[in-house]
Structure 1
Amino acid sequence: MSPAFGIDFGTSNSALAASVDNQVKLLDIDPGNPLSNSLKSILYFIKEDGRTHSFVGYEGVRQYIDNGAEGRYMQSIKSFLSDLSFQKTNIYGKNYTLEELIAHLLRVMKTRGEKIIGQEVDTVVLGRPVVFSTDAERENTATRRLINAAQLAGFKEISLQMEPVAAARAYENSLPCNREQIVLVGDFGAGSSDFTVLKVGNSHHRVSRAQGILSVGGLYIGGDNFDSLIMRHKVARYYGTDVQVKSMFSDNLTGLSPLVLSHLMQWHRIPWLRRPQTLGNIKELKVGAGLRDRRLLENLERLISDNYGYLLFQSIETAKCRLSDHGDATVNFKDYGIAIEEPVTRIEFEDMIRDLVLQIDACVTQTLADAGIAPEQVNAVFLTGGSSYIPLIRAIFEFRVGADKIKTADAFTSVAYGLGLEAGLLA
């Protein structure tokens, strides 16, 4: 049998599993990363000696930290798949389409994976969310772009599989053959949350996966949204979001524009604030600001010019993760002329995310209803992804089926492993 790859291309992290001789193995494709079988989904470009150099994964993060604003750092590329306005971006004089950027990541994963197994691989099963967009045009565009990117990366036989179905495949692999169960799968990524109700464990379903799927559902709410809410409610004020300055031409008070405020809450959009007009508006605010407000706006200028949004949001994510096991945490960030020690309690965090969790809860309810399954008929709930550890989210499933039925898996690799199992059926 020919080898095949399963690739979980994620918003924040990606992973690769290889199916070789009916054996599936996760590959260590991110050297230097403490989680070597999970690749940071980042690209970093820098120009030196007249040449453009590119880096991915952990190596890209290190280059970014060392060189910062001197280069071009890109993450959360997956989130733009359904963005019709993203046609191309210019990096050091060369235009790149979104497909070409994603292909660069996939090509590195393909090359590293082939080196590890010592064989060329033409077949891949790529993970995809249940829905890229509820808009038909955006949905079709995202699907086409992902397939085109895989082709550009050098794959010849390309299949897509929904990420929660792949996660269920990984869970099913641990069950005795012909022990059928009805499973509700929740796959919580950085950019989306996807759900599937399906029958697993039956050898017939293992061959014909589509017949085992009872329903699917999903929405674009993920870990990045929760980080953004901590930024908005606890951290953003250190960067002048509350500053109000009297206009030079009237008695009206003015502050940062809605566009600036919006981009500030999403770290991968902070570099977009480098536009001269945006920086000029911030400088105008500084002219009329008092000493305290001027310092806050200077913090914002450094955040933009020194490009340290990634490091700041890493601190926010660390605090968020702690809140899954503790009642309180602190966002600690001391660098670039600023010292932040902002406490946040689990109660505060749950208040911030409650509206989003209600939307997730409604999606789970609809997914079960579409399957024609009552909660008591569910034999197991299989959860994967970092946000599945948030107590308020776990409570959605504990309330329906009981804590004893909830199974968890590695947050970063279970989808890739399931995709590897799917790939083995095609090889």
Structure 2
Amino acid sequence: MAKAVGIDLGTTNSVIAVMEGGRPEVIVNAEGNRTTPSVVAYKGDERLVGQIARRQAALNPQATLFEVKRFIGRRWDEVKDEAARSPFTVKEGPGGSVRITVDGKDYAPEQVSAEVLRKLVADASAKLGQKITDAVITVPAYFDNSQREATKQAGEIAGLNVLRVINEPTAAALAYGLERKGNETVLVFDLGGGTFDVTILELGDGVFEVKSTSGDTALGGADFDQRIVDWLAEEFNKEHNFDLRKDKQALQRLIEAAEKAKIELSNASETSISLPFITFDPETRTPLHLERTLTRAKFEELTADLLKRVRKPVEQALSDAKLSASDINEVILVGGSTRIPAVKRIVQDITGKTPNESVNPDEAVALGAAVQAGIIQGDSSLGDIVLVDVTPLTLGVEVQGGMIAPMITRNTTVPAKKTEIYTTAQDNQPGVEINVLQGERPMAADNKSLGRFKLEGIPPMRAGQAQIEVTFDIDANGILHVTAKEKTTGKESSIRIENTTTLDKNDVERMVKEAEENAEADKLRKEKVEKRNALAQLRLQATQQLDEHANAPQDARDRLKAVADEAEEAVNSDDDSRIADVQKRLEDELRDFMTKGAQAQPEAGATSASAAEDDVIDADFKPADDK
């Protein structure tokens, strides 16, 4: 059986892991790194993913997409302020969804995220020596139904069979508690690049039971970076009367510098930010530079309101679990932003516990996802592990008066199913529209609408007589399914979902097909590049041999030089057959020349014929990199 993997699809970085010998292990990517930047860049027909995409971001800001997880499954009216801060173009899409435009083409956030997933899986498949198709993907605990569905769709577009979508803090707890014995109550504090979650679990005897979860999907490391970006831009504006945030390239450099400064301030009391040639004076066209020193104290001042926001979800999670801070045995920090010293202080202040840092905050989620993948596949080395998770937000329907009638309350164990009976408000009402809501506010308008479900074909009857049975069913992924039927006649009606932000089935199928076509095109493009590189390498070797063997017969020199010159032209052409032909002829001429060139060299005093032959053998087809 092919192995299933666990994937932490992160806002800033992503990680993939697999069970090996009864333990979860991170799989390094093609570049040899344990984390892969969640960055995708488009350059003409090419798509760059990961570190190579991040490196060229400053020169290609409008086509380099990052932190896309903050847009996945969300509505435009929820993210438009955030979108305005991006160097790339984010706009409103169909049905109030979000789209990202690059070179006139629109991409759904799910498509972009699928590119990251595809690279992770391709690199892992190469490392493991087998094709990977099954995966467990993690999401923030406070992701709503649309965001979970969209993440699952991203996996499908990447060609994956998504076995399960599980909460990131729960996955981290799995990684932490895998080898621990005894009973513990654990608080997982997960502050990543784009989201913040707090989850309280009880661990014991192979059971991982989530007691409560809370969080903030609009708080993460990116928000801390943005405060540094704004401070740098405002300081520069005071000095030069120019707002760097209006220049896409300058903005990208500010974002990169801000993240670097934040990271450095986790271990130092101050850091220098130096951005030479950040822009030009609009009047004199002389270059302008940005030089600033940022202290840890100033950083904490800039982010004071963000630091305050981490307190409420912790207190809410404790309250929902009916626990006090003294009931918590361990506090686990997850997510790169938990390295911020002020964050650690706040956690310690609220819980009275020194955080446990035995798990790598960047890798714990992927490791736990790999454990969950192993559980699903029946990995015997894991023994009997039971994972009991909860839904993060209340689900309900809108009723008369614009109120929400809760169906499944937050922190209900999943999977869960609930049925309620509703009726009509008017005589002879032919149908009803059921507005499915998610949130904690009493008024429907203050909560998020997941979709409007129409039930039509109700026979004529007086108001209040119709018996409309609505069933909410949350699966193990935390994804909601809704059905409805009219009970008095026994007639069932189909339900149509409208105005959701997730992609419909046809869109997903189209994107899967595009992804497969692009994968084949990428493979062919890579092969073409490799052929040209091989010919260019061989041409360089031929040129070096011409320089080294000046005493070789002139006719051999002329023939080799002629084919080497032809190779230079072929490398710049788009003719694969010509490249193959020139490659073959250049190999033949180079072999002949190296033999004749070595024979033509003047004899050294004590050099034997056998030594000369050895030199020829050693030199024959030696790669240029080894010279």
TM-score by length of 2: 0.52
Structure 1 position 411 matched with structure 2 position 353: no
Matched residue type, 2:210:
I
Match of 2:567 in 1: none
Contact 1:3 1:20 in 2 (8 A): no
Question: RMSD of the TM alignment (CA)?
Answer: 2.3
Residue number in structure 1 paired with 2:171: 166
Could you say which residue in structure 2 is the equivalent of 1:25?
Answer: 25
1:256-279 deviation per Cα after TM superposition (whole angstroms, max 9, x unaligned): xxxxxxxxxxxxxxxxxxxxxxxx
Q: One-letter code of the match for 1:54?
A: R
Task: Please state how far the C-alpha of 1:77 moved relative to its aligned partner.
Answer: 0.8
* Compared CA separation, residues 2 and 201, structure 1 to 2 (3 A): farther
The answer for the alignment partner of 1:56 in structure 2 is 49
User: Equivalent residue of 1:407, what SS?
Assistant: coil
Structure 1 pair 334/114, CA: closer, same or farther in 2 (3 Å)?
Answer: same
**Moved segments of 4+, more than 6 Å:** none
Structure number having the greater helix percentage: 1
Alpha-carbon deviation of 1:357? 1.6
Gaps of 5+ in 2: 77-91, 94-98, 279-286, 378-627
Q: Matches of 2:318 and 2:30 in 1, distance apart?
A: 37
Tell me what 2:331 maps to.
Answer: 381
The residue aligned with 1:117 is 128
Instruction: Name the amino acid aligned to 2:174.
Output: R
Partner of 1:130: 141
- The residue matched to 1:25 in structure 2 has which SS? strand
Tell me: higher relative CO, structure 1 or 2? Use CA pairs within 8 A at least 6 residues apart. 1
Partner residue of 1:218 out of 179, 204, 215: 215
Larger displacement relative to structure 2 (92-101 or 315-324)? 92-101
Deviations 1:22-63 (A, max 9, x none): 44221112516xxx010000001111xxxx100100111234
CA contact under 8 A between 1:8 and 1:415: conserved in structure 2? yes
- Call closer, same or farther: CA 1:121–1:20 in 2, change over 3 Å: farther
1:399 paired with 2:349, answer: yes
**Deviation at 1:193?**
1.1
Partner of 2:261: 319
Q: 2:323 & 2:150 partners in 1: Cα distance?
A: 34
Q: 1:235 offset after TM fit, Å?
A: 0.3
TM-score of the superposed pair, with normalisation by structure 1: 0.75
Q: AA paired with 2:139? A: R
**DSSP-derived class of the 1:7 partner:** strand
Structure 2 vs 1, CA of residues 403 and 215 (structure 1 numbering), >3 Å: closer, same or farther?
closer
Contact between 2:192 and 2:338, CA under 8 Å: does it hold in 1?
Answer: no
Q: Distance in 2 between matches of 1:171 and 1:72?
A: 38
Check the 8 A contact 1:168/1:185 in 2, yes or no.
yes
Residue 165 of structure 2 aligns to a residue whose secondary structure is strand
Tell whether the 8 Å contact from 1:150 to 1:158 is kept in structure 2 after alignment.
Answer: no
Distance 2:152 2:258 in 1: 34
In 2, the alpha carbon distance for the partners of 1:418 and 1:26 equals 11
Correspondence for 1:255 = none
State the shift of 1:346 in Å.
2.1
Q: Secondary structure at the match of 2:70?
A: helix
Q: What's the CA shift for 1:386?
A: 2.1
* SS class of match (1:406): coil
1:186 aligns with 2:189: yes
Amino acid at match of 2:134: T
* Aligned twin of 2:154: 149
Relative to 1, partners in 2 of residues 1:62 and 1:30: Cα closer, same or farther, differing over 3 Å? farther
The residue aligned with 1:10 is 10
Which AA in structure 2 matches 1:417? Answer: L
Give the deviation of 1:21 after TM superposition. Answer: 6.0
Tell me what 1:266 maps to. none
Structure 1 residues 328 and 94, CA gap change in structure 2 (3 angstroms) = closer
- Aligned partner of 2:198 among 188, 195, 203: 195
User: Alignment partner for residue 68 of structure 1, among 57, 60, 63?
Assistant: 60
Take 2:350 and 2:107, find their aligned partners in 1: how far apart are those partners? 46
Q: Summarize the Cα distance change of 1:126–1:140 in structure 2 as closer, same or farther, 3 Å threshold.
A: same
May I ask how many residue pairs the two structures share in their alignment? 348
Larger Rg: 2
1:325 Cα deviation from its structure 2 partner: 2.9
- C-alpha distance 113-95 of structure 1, shift in aligned 2 (>3 A): same
Query: Alpha-carbon deviations, 1:115-137, whole Å to 9, x = none?
Result: 111122222111101123xxxxx
For the residue of structure 1 that corresponds to 2:315, the secondary structure is helix
> What is the distance in 1 between the residues matched to 2:261 and 2:138?
29
The answer on whether the counterparts of 1:376 and 1:400 sit within 8 Å (CA) in structure 2 is no
In structure 1, C-alpha distance between the alignment counterparts of 2:106 and 2:258, rounded to whole Å = 33
Pick the aligned partner of 1:359 from 309, 312, 329: 309
Q: Which residue does the alignment assign to 1:368? A: 318
- Corresponding residue of 2:41: 44
- Distance in 2 separating the partners of 1:407 and 1:122: 32
Cα contact 2:155–2:162 (8 A) shared by 1: no
Q: Kindly provide the amino acid, as one letter, of the partner of residue 110 in structure 2.
A: E
Residue identity in the other structure for 2:256: Q
